[in-house]
Copies of this chain bind each other. A is one copy, B any other.
Amino acid sequence: MVSIVSVAKVAGVSNKTVSRVINGEPYVTEETRERVERAIRDLGYVPNMAARQIRSSRSNTFGIIADYVSTTPYSVDIVRGIQDWANANGKTILMANTGGASEQEIKIWKMFQSHRIDGVLYVTMYHRIVDPEIGDVGIPTVMINCRPQTSELLPSIEPDDYQGARDLTRYLLERGHRKIGYIRLNPILLGAELRLDAFRKTTGDFGLADSDLTIRLGMEGPVGAEKNYVFAAATEMLQQKDRPTAIMSGNDEMAIQVYIAAMALGLRIPEDVSIVGFDDFRTVSLALRPELTTAALPYYGLGLQGAELLNSVVAGSEVCPSSRVMSCNLVERLSVSSL
């Protein structure tokens, strides 16, 4: 392999001078610099990161540890956000996923240590509370889309489920809806409670009574093996004599079933019933007809900011573990009518 030494030989300088050119250090004549650069090009030299790391004991690498990569396909945007940040800032990303198994998690931490990772981004594919196997290792860590269960103060970045659900609820209320159905997310997800709270609070503030709301559980059970009541719940809701004029679906995926339930009853969307989702999972929200009004989870931004935050933690500039929150923007499409 071509190393700094071979370049030095060809350029007729010492290897230190080559090193200087590579790292853009001062005190190199323009002429020497050109000669070295030409040698680098001719030989196709590329610096060896491993050697660099060994020398500087900084790997410039972040690790991503994720739980279920594939089950919530849309949240890979978090990963994309991280990667884009890394790319722009010259960091390398090492990625691993646990599949939910904690033995895997331990193995991955070991692997990260052996690569002398500078920091870890602990990412979950659902917004939830976790109990990571960290602590004993002592690598700076930022949690993305989740928060630690224990009192361990780890910085985290999460979506603002509450604000998103509040905005969606307001959106419906402002358009005159006074009978609203709500289909709840799986309660094991952190978003479930936050979104429902926001819905309850916002409708209450607006003067709606409990009897104006129909709230049903859409899913329950462990991730990947949930029981699904969405279709039945939506059907039941829409068959009430005083049926809701709008339904808030726990997320976009569940909204598919709400659409189908409504249509099977001969109801038109949005003329007879308005529907909103949550997540802006575009594979769904843009495929539905009419397209779905929803609140977008800021996945990409979570990744971007998470990486940024980790960077400042590693650099030591972030002293107290801050917990940030990112807003869920309402995406207005065509599934809601004004009454």
Stretch in A155-163, A169-177, A208-216, A282-290 touching the partner: A282-290
A81 to B, closest residue via Cβ: B70
Q: Report chain B residues within 8 Å CB of A165.
A: none
Q: A99–B87 Cα gap in the complex (Å)?
A: 12
Kindly name the residue among A57, A99, A289 whose own CB sees the greatest number of chain B CB atoms within 10 A.
Answer: A289
The A contact surface, by secondary structure, is: helix
Copies in the assembly, this chain: 2
Minimum CB–CB distance for A264 against chain B, Å: 6
A124 within 8 A of B: no
Q: Does A97 contact B (CB under 8 A)?
A: yes
Pairwise interchain contact B48-A114, C-beta atoms closer than 8 A: yes
A76-B73, A79-B69, A114-B47 known; A264 and B261 CB under 8 Å? no
Among B50, B70, B107, B284, which residue has its beta carbon within 8 angstroms of that of A76? B70
Given contacts A231-B289, A289-B260, contact A93 B95 (CB under 8 A): yes
A residues lining the B interface (CB < 8 Å):
1, 46-51, 53-54, 57, 59, 69-70, 73-74, 76-77, 79-80, 83-84, 87, 92-97, 99, 104, 107, 110-111, 113-116, 228, 231, 253-254, 256-257, 259-261, 263-264, 266, 268, 281, 283-284, 286-289, 300
